[in-house]
Copies of this chain bind each other. A is one copy, B any other.
Amino acid sequence: MQTKVIKSVSEKKRVILPRAVRRQQLILATMRCISRVGLSSVTMAQVTKDAGLSRGIANLHFERKENLLIETLRFVTDEYNRGQAEILDATTFSSAAEKLAALVQFQFSRSVTEATKMAVWFAFYGEATSRPTYQKICADSDARAARSVRALFTQLGAAQEVLVDVGAVTDGYIALIDGLWLNILLAPQKMTRAKAKRVARTFLEGVFPSIKV
């Protein structure tokens, strides 16, 4: 049989790779599986199969399924926070307004809003109420994100002639973004990335009239 020949050639070449690589492979596979079947019905069998690895490997590198899930959440939040910080901590922008434009661009970039990541975010949000660990990771990530946005908004507010309530505006902006992401996830054909950007810019131009985002 041809299949047999092919199989015997490609079959079972056991590869050994560093721990960090395996962990990432499994995390990425977990993300794909969550977006495909949902957090509540992901199985280790699916994840390891998707990663092209054997059944027992997850336990070797993560011990328990719960750890793999937690690391997956951390992976997504860290990646986002790093990306956002890269913009907001940068000193190369010529103005605060430009930095703000870059932020919006980033928040609705393909890499942030791609279906599999959005699905993972909200899957964990949905479980956060009942899982202290998820709750903490989400809350910490949100707090970090909010702090740096607030700093930027304070700067922008100072340049305004009209007094703005920076606290309320920051909370509002964060909420707006979360809500737009949710919309993109639930009805992607109704809420596109372009439309979402427009909505975010409308909000920002409303509160900071002097700038054009």
A26-55 interface mask toward B, CB cutoff 8 Å, 1 = contact, 0 = none?
000000001111111100000000000000
Query: Is A39 a contact of B198 with CB atoms below 8 Å?
Result: no
Query: Is B176 a contact of A130 with CB atoms below 8 Å?
Result: no
- Partner of A119 from the list B130, B168, B185, B206 (CB cut-off 8 Å) is B130
A interface, by DSSP: helix, strand, loop or mixed? Answer: helix
Interface-located stretch among A10-18, A121-129, A150-158: A121-129
A203 interfacial by beta-carbon distance below 8 Å: yes
Interface-located stretch among A1-9, A88-96, A98-106, A134-142: A134-142
A178 interfacial by beta-carbon distance below 8 Å: yes
A109 interfacial by beta-carbon distance below 8 Å: no
Query: Is A180 a contact of B175 with CB atoms below 8 Å?
Result: yes
Q: With contacts A38-B127, A202-B165 known, is A171 near B142, CB below 8 A? A: no
Query: Is B37 a contact of A168 with CB atoms below 8 Å?
Result: no
Residue of B nearest to A36 (CB): B130
Q: How far is the CA of A212 from the CA of B9 in the complex (A)?
A: 75
Query: Is A199 a contact of B172 with CB atoms below 8 Å?
Result: yes
